[in-house]
Structure 1
Amino acid sequence: MISISFLNCFFLVFLFLFFSDVHGSYNGLGLKPQMGWNSWNKYACDIDESIILNNAKAIKEEGLLDLGYEYIVMDDCWSKHERNATTGRLEANPDKFPNGIGSMAKKLHDMGFKFGMYSSAGKYTCAGFPGSLNHEQIDADTFADWGVDYLKYDNCFNEGKSGVPLISYERYKRMSDALNKTGRPIFYSLCQWGEDFVWNWGNTIANSWRISGDIFDTFSRKDVRCPCETIECFALQGDHCSVMNIISKASFLSSKAGMNSGWNDLDSLEVGNGGMSFEEYKTHFTMWAILKSPLILGNDVSSMSPMDKLIVSNKELISINQDIGTNPAALIWKKKYGDEYIELFSGRLSNNDWVVAVLNAASEPLKMGIHLSDIFVDALGNAEHDWLATDLWNNNVKLVSDRIRANVASHGVQVWRFQQYKVKNTNDKFFSFNKH
């Protein structure tokens, strides 16, 4: 006979394992990629309280807060050039933020948002303002006092404390520990540019980590200021990195992200900043969504065009990005096509649904058949079933038994949600759909 004490112990072990799985991130935050807005891509150093609040108001008025864009993140250039000589604390530039950071944070909280702050794990921030290296606890306490919910933590002026994973880990861990000691839940976002293989250690101290140099508003233009083409690169990660440059790095890191670890950050979105075509922005947003990058707007939301809003409001793609318990889509194959490449991605979703995407980076359109055995290379039994494939940009539905026909524009993407088709009678599927 099993004793009561044994059953109690078994139950406690079960609870521990269950909640360890559900609350697997290092601080209980970030069970899905963060969504919101960041000031840098559009405004760089030209920020003030009105710019931050006006974009927040526009996000709310456009219904984007209801879609999940909840973090308003103020980037670099917000502070004075010197710390307070008496307290050692960071202070806001009074010309830009005359009411102080805490007052602005309260206004954002009252609007239903969470507030994000910026600093750097260096002597200075990237724009030359005081950084938080060797000031971690006093800065974390200051951020908590101001009501900060999110910290983007950069990598500039790090005094040589990089080049080896352990050194970078220890530098970033100091702020991680400091944030936790405040007692305030603060989402911790590393902006470490993918140096020192951050995807191997960031998940134990942070909620997300950048995997490349800074994004630039271009689809595939190569730039010497972004010298790294792969994740194995040991050169300076740089900036002016194209969308395709970042995708090529992120596509090999799908296994490094998830609910129980954290998220590969592909950098803020450029949709709405004018450097790419509508088709290219669709590709940009689609790939960020299915690779489960944070979806952080980086434009002037108050002047967003209806077409740009259409892209960032795609509820089906957002639901895939925010699907708790699922991992980024995986790169299945990459093939030469014309002057560039075509790529197939697939990934498991909740309820045994799948996301499938064909990316065409070439300058000519693509038409081809994609076999189920390719799509389900990690679950070949699924290739024996029929599937309903819903195109997530035009909502067209196909019944797929053997392969699906892709028709992808130049620099475009076609993305579907696959749902297993259950036939109710022998004639049902022939009446409802054409087979592909």
Structure 2
Amino acid sequence: MVQYGFKDLGYEYVILDDCWSVGRNSSGYLMPNMTKFPDGISGLADKIHALGLKVGIYSSAGTMTCARYTGSLGHEQKDADVWASWGIDYVKYDNCFNEGEEGTPQLSFDRYNAMSKALNKTGRPMLYSMCNWGVDGPWNFAPTIANSWRITGDLTDTFDRDDPNCPCEEKEGLDCKVPGFYCSLTNVLNKVVYYPSKAFPGAWNDMDLLQVGNGGMTDDEYVAHFSIWAAMKSPLIMTNVLAKLDPQTLSILQNAAVLAVSQDPLGSSATRRWRYFVNDTDEFGRGEIQLLTGSLAGDDQLVLFFNAGTQERTMNASLAEVFWEVAPRGTAPQVKQAWDIYDLWKGARMSNATASAIIAGNGTLPVNMTEIGGGGPDGARRAYAQVPPSNSTALMGTKVGSVQPSGTFTAHVKPHGVAMLRLRAQSTRKRDEL
């Protein structure tokens, strides 16, 4: 993560998942598997911290974890205390073997709030990642007790397919009781779009781990996957074997302009403006296109065209559609200025030679760290977190045109792909003046 430049681009946690422990000692504290971790978890944490990174750990709000190791239900304070003593910075808290303590929002809240209070009581800052698969509508209570919460069942490495293990289309809404697994990218997107307002800085809708580069989708589908997760402000958690990264995957995961959207200080999740079903259906009998937009710091605007159909198509939107929320309801906003359009993927894919050199440890980052953040280990992150991007291809993408106040702009979008655009006003008027 350090050698390939991920740390400089804002990836900062190394998160252990299940299978790290061997149960509890005679005092009731969790113990690590010393064969897997000869220096213990505290020794591992010291090594990770020495690299300038943070470390995460895993448990379940049940009697056992999902892999049937010892869970934390009823032992919240002892587990939180031992994690704090080891130097843990992040806790993923799953939902397996929960003893039936779910089925109403109050039951789920009480069970997850017990760990929230225990973590806070330790006095050590630890990011609290709830993983209850969207059961009991966590978006309604998790923002008060956690830093992120899963909103669906488990994502799998597939673009769009029906799977009996992931029931409940979004049309079933809150009547859906089974969280499921083997959920596709579009299935997850079409559930999270109903809850963008529930997230805010420090509290996020979690669409599950990134699958980028794991082999189940095409590169264009992975570009769409990464773009949508960034637009919705879902945590970006890689699941790759980093030693086996290929150039295409590195190129996607290190797109600084898209990461700037993910880490935008305003922290506003994109909102779906429209969704249409199209004629060019896939083997599962569907195809759809969507427009998502979102506010960015500095009065910039994000526009994302998503083409889930099987044919390349030209997609378009007007500024009235993009800025619909700022107008009185039932009317179109009166846009008074022109906007420049930047494509966040145009020219962003590094060459195989450049990426291969980085992977081999003989190259440099594909972006100019001094230009975008002042250099140093946290240069890029400072640029993302504190100021809107400058007019650079590193953080703004490539300028591809402009649109007049009453105009319409278009993008050619590949099948199962996206066009991810950043709009910047040509004048210095405030957003409410458009």
Q: Say whether the fold is shared (TM-score over 0.5).
A: yes
For the Cα contact (< 8 Å) 1:376–1:382, is it kept in 2? no
**Alpha-carbon distance in structure 2 between the residues aligned to 1:241 and 1:302:** 27
- What is the aligned-residue RMSD (CA, Å)? 1.3
**For the Cα contact (< 8 Å) 2:305–2:315, is it kept in 1?**
no
Deviates more, 1:365-374 or 1:346-355: 365-374
Matched, 1:307 2:248: yes
Query: Counterparts of 2:41 and 2:217 in 1: how far apart (Å)?
Result: 34
2:402 to 399, 405, 408: 399
| 2:422 is the counterpart of 1:417 | yes
1:246 aligns with 2:184: no
Matched residues in 1 for 2:250 and 2:6: separation?
9
Check 1:188–1:220 CA distance in 2 against 1; reply closer, same or farther (3 A cut). Answer: same
1:327 matched to 2:268: yes
| CA drift at 1:155 | 0.4
Question: What is the CA–CA distance in structure 1 between the aligned matches of 2:182 and 2:227, rounded to whole Å?
Answer: 20
2:84 is aligned to: 144
> Is the 8 Å Cα contact of residues 370 and 406 (structure 1) preserved in structure 2?
no
Task: Indicate yes or no: 2:127 matched with 1:127.
Answer: no
Letter in 1 for 2:225: H
Alignment partner, residue 177 of structure 1:
117
Say if 1:353 and 1:419, in contact at 8 Å, map to a contact too.
yes
Three-state SS of the structure 1 residue aligned to 2:24 is: coil
| Residue 116 of structure 1 pairs with residue 77 of structure 2 | no
SS in 2 for 1:297: coil
Q: Which runs of 5+ in 2 are unaligned?
A: 282-286, 328-332, 347-397, 429-434
Whether 1:167 and 2:100 are equivalent positions in the alignment is no
Distance 1:407 1:243 in 2: 21
Q: Percent identity of the aligned residues?
A: 45
Q: Does 1:275 align with 2:206?
A: no
Asked whether the 8 Å contact 1:193–1:210 carries over to 2, the reply is yes
Of 82, 85, 93, the match for 2:33: 93
Residue pair 2:230, 2:236 contacting (<8 A) in 1 also: yes
- C-alpha displacement of 1:414: 0.3
Q: CA deviation at 1:93?
A: 1.4
Q: Please tell me the residue identity of whatever aligns with 1:352.
A: D
Of 70-79 and 229-238, deviating more is 229-238
Instruction: Give the secondary structure class of the aligned counterpart of 2:21.
Output: coil
Question: Aligned AA for 2:270?
Answer: A
Aligned residues of 1:369 and 1:406 also touching (Cα < 8 A): yes
Could you tell me which of 364, 367, 390 is aligned with 2:342?
390
Q: Deviations over 1:270-303 (max 9, x none)?
A: 0111111000000000000000000111111111
Please point out which of 216, 229, 233 is paired with 1:292: 233
Please state how far the C-alpha of 1:87 moved relative to its aligned partner: 1.2
Q: Unpaired runs of 5+ in structure 1? A: 1-58, 424-436
Residue 318 of structure 1 is matched in structure 2 by: 259
- Superposed displacement of residue 345, structure 1: 0.6
CA distance in 2, matches of 1:154, 1:397: 44
Rounded to whole Å, the distance in 2 between the matches of 1:120 and 1:151 is 10
1:198 has 2:150 as partner: no
Q: Which secondary structure state, in structure 2, belongs to the residue aligned with residue 296 of structure 1?
A: coil
CA distance in 2, matches of 1:292, 1:90: 33
